[in-house]
Structure 1
């Protein structure tokens, strides 16, 4: 498993001493500066995050889920994992775990759980809805197999006991829809207030 990049380690130090407004700016700047690599064949990492957040916003989701949609794949950026790398999707780097752990001191439990569970949520949807896998992108189908494929009955039972599974499933659906080339959506700065709103430390 990979570790945090130097840029991610610097961000971690900066966040420790940040206040509410600074927290939003630091995260937004990090995504902007590190999210221009390709997420898959259609969009960059930043474009994917913005499309997911816009889908959450357009659905009338609460700020916690909008922020979760924006940040659900931040783990990819923290470990510099993207589609141009030769080893991309060669090994499951558990980006969802990196993302949730990184944000843990600052974000509410529901947001952290949806980030942590969004990979399992894809496996859940594919396991419980026979046609769901057909709508996945090419790269998402590849990662589905790498991440374990269909869930066993025991895994389904365990996942269904998660208190925030319903929220994670919403994030997953927006995640899978947020891969439209050239789609116009609000910029990162549009979410500064949302990020500040869900920031926990006083």
Structure 2
């Protein structure tokens, strides 16, 4: 569409229905969702879907961008020990993420060349650096734990969440505790 040109009302409505159908489908079923099923659920033809979102990646980015952005705004709490901060961060992040199977699939299988994945990994490294710096004073992390160790630990937990058929909060907490034992002093 040319810059400054307004979309027809039906085109805008179609795009909104596609986004809603895609969000529901990908959130509930992960990346295995067929684009024809998304179009049918939205009540549009597959051609209409591809007119709005030329590639599957364009549609995924449109519906997962907010989730990636919200993850990028989180960190360890300002108070408490490094290990307690990681516990809270890991549990909160995973609890939010398991509600969206597409995000779990993207992060569990993300390629380092993917821009969203790389931004997420850099944020996790930042969280890891904060925890490592805090541990210098409180000695709750093993002395050889690095920011990368912490980032990849969360990505490992995301992969575990992807493999568990129905990952509930208790299951997530259990796996977070197992992971933290490996990072603790």
Same fold? TM cut 0.5: no
> Bigger relative contact order, structure 1 or 2, given CA contacts below 8 A and separation 6+?
1
With the length of structure 1 as denominator, give the TM-score of the two structures. Answer: 0.32
Bigger Rg over Cα: 2
